[in-house]
Structure 1
Amino acid sequence: MVTSIILINAERNRINEVAEKLQEINGISEVYSVSGKYDLVAIVRVKTNEDLADLVTKQMLAMDGIIKTETMLAFQAYSRHDLEAMFTVGM
């Protein structure tokens, strides 16, 4: 499983429209509107790097309203659930 975080700049008057279209793409599990340098953050979970490449370079590229993206690959997940599980095993 490949997990990535995609930071997105969208045309100001199309942010909601872009977010709605993104959530319809298979492989995008969550879309957040955020404050700061970017307008949207998409969490992507796909089977392979090729699936990620297809999602970013074909599906997202064809979408109107996206100005710029920055894709980050996740190496390892840390969550409260994972940390609690480690402590119950004695780590």
Structure 2
Amino acid sequence: MVEALVFMVVEPQAVTEIPKKLKDMKEVKAIYEVTGDYDFVIMMEGESYSDIAKTLREKILKIPGVVRTTTSFIVAKHK
């Protein structure tokens, strides 16, 4: 299983609609509305790097109001 954090910039008028569209995607495990350079950070999970990339290309980047995303794949967890 591969996990990734996706940092999203969205158009201001889309802020309320974006979570509604993301929550139904099985790959999206958590949605955070944040302050700073990004509007949302989402946690994604997939079988492979290419599965996550495909979801980004075919679903997330096609949501009206999504301006851009930056993806960081999780390579290790420390407790």
Q: Shorter chain as normaliser: what TM range?
A: over 0.9
In 1, are the aligned partners of 2:31 and 2:40 still within 8 Å (CA)? yes
The TM-score, its normalising length taken from structure 2, stands at 0.93
1:5 alignment counterpart: 5
Root-mean-square deviation (CA, aligned residues, Å) is 1.0
The TM-score, its normalising length taken from structure 1, stands at 0.81
Rounded to whole Å, the distance in 1 between the matches of 2:16 and 2:78 is 29
Q: Structure 2 stretches of 5 or more lacking a match? A: none
Q: Select the structure that is richer in strand.
A: 2
> What secondary structure is seen at the aligned counterpart in 2 of 1:16?
coil
Rounded to whole Å, the distance in 1 between the matches of 2:23 and 2:56 is 13
Rounded to whole Å, the distance in 2 between the matches of 1:42 and 1:51 is 15
Q: Select the structure that is richer in helix.
A: 1
Runs of 4+ in 1 over 2 A off after TM superposition: none
Number of equivalent positions: 79
Larger CA deviation: 67-76 vs 46-55: 46-55
1:73 aligns with 2:73: yes
Give the C-alpha shift of residue 26 in structure 1. 1.4
Rounded to whole Å, the distance in 2 between the matches of 1:38 and 1:78 is 24
Question: Which structure's relative contact order is higher, taking Cα pairs within 8 Å and 6+ residues apart?
Answer: 2
Q: Structure 1 stretches of 5 or more lacking a match? A: 80-91
